[in-house]
Structures are given as structure tokens and as C-alpha cells.
Amino acid sequence: MLVLMQSGATESEIAQVEERICELGFTPHTMPGKTATAIGITGNSGPLEPAMFAGLAGIARVIAVTQPFKLVSREVKQDDTVIDFGDASIGGAELALMAGPCSVESRDQIMQAAIAAKAAGAKFLRGGAFKPRTSPYAFQGLKEEGLKLLAEARDATGLRVVTEVKDTETLEMVADYADVLQVGARNMQNYSLLEALGNIRQPVLLKRGMSATIKEWLMCAEYVVARGNRQVILCERGLRTFETMTRNTMDVGAIPLVKHLSHLPVVADPSHGIGIAQHVTPLALGCVAAGADGLIIEMHPDPSRALSDGDQSLTPEGFSDLVQKVERVAAAVGRRVVKADDEWKGAS
Ligand code: PEP
Ligand code: MN
């Protein structure tokens, strides 16, 4: 259920509606929009009667929400959610570019990656410090040391740091260093983690589980938003299918569909989506054409020596080539790439 206020509704009229929702034993979620404020309602087990709001001023309409995901749905909020980072944003006209290695491996490696990412035009640096690996014997990440190196790279370049949080135990530590907290595909339905992320106010990049339906994915985003953290970015990273020639099957069609169903930004990860460096750029172009709000790309200064995901990692030159091609496709679909700083030459 959703109460849509009139465009001129006053703060006290909004407060009275919120109060009525609380009196009914439900939770109001007030969302100021471009033209009017909407108040989403959660906690009700069945449909609510518009009569429950009788006598209150400033209400335009009381609308039933048909989707099981409520607060993340377009029914509740028509305007796109734009996550603002000052001189960068995700979900607006600007296409967000995120790049960096799968894992942080050393100071040299992450610095070189950050400098290359920035020089090519990215505004976000990705890199895992806590790595959920299929094998317990594989490189698990540098953990807090990796987070410190990411923070150093941010200080040196001004890039925002996107890094994975693997569990609730390390959330506070990771949140101290990260600008965007990534939830990996394997953790999409880790409900304790999602609830904990809902209680903080840092943006969350929620990857789609490798066999999750779109509804399940959006319900996971709802977990975070329902707790009060509205800064959720969805990330399509490919699904496990019968196909073995590609690492995953990128669900490009999910991008326009999810953007239709939800107001949250959708970022594409073609690196995990296909798993083969050579094919990452064409797939990235397809994702941008399909309406992705950004790209997260694995890029390593020397992919052949990467400790994880080298096969799908672009070189710095490959990433720079990707950005140049992406700029043209972005322009064709009404988006633009705003380079981090055209004057910036990188550290020597
Ligand atoms: C990653 O981003 O390196 C990663 C592990 O991704 P995913 O969770 O999508 O597999
Ligand atoms: Mn990876």
C-alpha cells in the first residue's frame, strides 16, 4: 500500500499520515519524489482500506502495491534512484564506471590498477579484500591489509572504493574503508548480512545470485531498503546455465526488465558475466545499450599473474579501449561518461 501525497502537501500533513500508519501498527517509509511525496507502508499482512486514512488532509491517492517487493518497486517510487557521491553518481544521466582487479594483491598492483582506472575515466575502484572462493585453498584476499591498500589508492587518486563484504562479523571493518559495499552473488540471500546492511547508510552493490530469479533478487534488495538503507545498486553478473563455453550466461534482458520493475540503479558486470577477457568489451557495450546505469569491470595491471579471475581481466589498455567504445554507445542511448578528470595524469 502506498499513500501518494498531493504535490503541495505540507510537512505536518505528511507527519499526520505517518502517525496514522504507526497507529495502525504498520511502518511508514516516506519518500520525497520530484513532484510529490509518497509514503510506502510495510508490516500489513493484507490489503488496507483507503477509509483508514479518512479525515487526513493532503492525500492525493491511496494505491495498492501489487508486487511482493514494495519499497524497491516503481509502483511506490516512479523517479529513478540516483546515488550521489559528490562528483560522481549512479543512476542518473552519467554512466558509472567501476574498474579494478578481482582481488587486491599488493600495494603496487592496486596502485597501478587505480591509476589506470582513473586515467581511462573510471570514478570507482573495485577490488576484493575478503574473497569468497570456491576452494578453501585458493587465495582468500589480503583482508584488512587489502582494505588499507584500497584506502591508500583512494587517497592517491580520489576514486571511490567498491569492495565486497563477506559476513556480518567483518561488516564494521569493511564499512570503515569502503565507499560502496559489494554483496557477492554467493551471499545475495544472506539475510543477516542484508539486514545489517539495511541498518547502515553506505551504498550497497547487490549482485544477483547465480541462480536467483529477478523476484528473489529484488526481494533481497527489499531487505536492505526495508531497514532504512535506500542506497542499493543492483548488479547483474550472469547466471549459471547449461552453457559451459562461457563462465556464466549474462542476463542482458534482466537489465531493462529490472529497470522497469524497480527505481534502483542497475550496474552490469560483464567480466563475471562471460568470464573471457576478449569478449568483455562487446558484452559491456550490449549492457550499456540495454540501459545499464554503470559497468563494473575487472582490470589487472598484469592479468596473467592475477591471483584470481585473470582470464576475465582486461589489461589497462583493454579497459581504456572499452571506455572509448562505451562512450559512443552511451551517447546513442542518452547517457554520458563523465571522465574522472581530463587533466589528471596519474602519479609517476
Ligand atoms: C567479484 O566481484 O570478484 C565476485 C566474486 O563476484 P560474484 O560475487 O559476482 O561472483
Ligand atoms: Mn572476480
pLDDT category at 342 given cuts 50, 70, 90 is low
pLDDT, position 111: 98
Best residue among 105, 142, 163, 164 to mutate for probing ligand 1, ranked by most atoms within 8 Å of CB:
164
Overall average pLDDT of the 207-216 stretch: 98
DSSP 314: B
Per CATH, the number for 2-63 is 3.30.70.1140
**What ligand is nearest to the CA atom of residue 162?**
1
Q: Specify the residue with its C-alpha closest to ligand 1, atom 9.
A: 185
Residue type, 188: M
pLDDT mean across residues, the chain: 95
Overall average pLDDT of the 313-318 stretch: 98
Q: How far apart are CA 96 and CA 123, in angstroms?
A: 7
Cell of 179: 565507499
pLDDT category at 344 given cuts 50, 70, 90 is very low
The residues whose Cβ lies within 5 A of ligand 2, an ion, are: 102, 309
**What ligand is nearest to the CA atom of residue 131?**
1
Best residue among 207, 269, 295 to mutate for probing ligand 1, ranked by most atoms within 8 Å of CB:
207
Residue type, 101: P
**pLDDT tens for each residue of 130-167:** 999 999 999 999 999 999 999 999 999 999 999 999 99
Overall average pLDDT of the 196-214 stretch: 97
Of 38, 34, 35, 47, which is closest to residue 17 (Cα–Cα)? Answer: 38
Q: Specify the residue with its C-alpha closest to ligand 1, atom 10.
A: 185
pLDDT, position 341: 63
Q: Are 121 and 97 in contact (CB under 8 A)?
A: yes
Q: How far apart are CA 270 and CA 295, in angstroms?
A: 8
Residue type, 208: R
pLDDT, position 162: 98
pLDDT category at 45 given cuts 50, 70, 90 is confident
Of 292, 284, 315, which is closest to residue 205 (Cα–Cα)? Answer: 292
Overall average pLDDT of the 253-281 stretch: 98
CA of residue 67 to ligand 1 center, whole Å: 28
- Is 28 strand, coil or helix? strand
CA of residue 305 to ligand 2 center, whole Å: 14
Q: How far apart are CA 258 and CA 79, in angstroms?
A: 14
**pLDDT tens for each residue of 80-116:** 999 999 989 999 999 999 999 999 999 999 999 999 9
Cell of 115: 591509476
**Which atom of ligand 1 is nearest the CA belonging to 128?**
3
**What are the residue ranges spanned by the domains of the chain?**
2-63, 83-344
**What ligand is nearest to the CA atom of residue 269?**
1
Global pTM value: 0.95
CA of residue 185 to ligand 1 center, whole Å: 6
E strand or H helix that includes residue 206: strand 204-207
Overall average pLDDT of the 216-242 stretch: 98
Higher-confidence residue of 246 and 32: namely 246
User: Which residues' Cβ are closer than 6 Å to ligand 1?
Assistant: 102, 128, 184-186, 207, 237, 272
Instruction: Please state, for a pLDDT cut of 90, what percent of the chain lies above it.
Output: 91
pLDDT, position 346: 42
pLDDT category at 33 given cuts 50, 70, 90 is confident
Per CATH, the number for 83-344 is 3.20.20.70
CA of residue 129 to ligand 2 center, whole Å: 11
Overall average pLDDT of the 64-83 stretch: 94
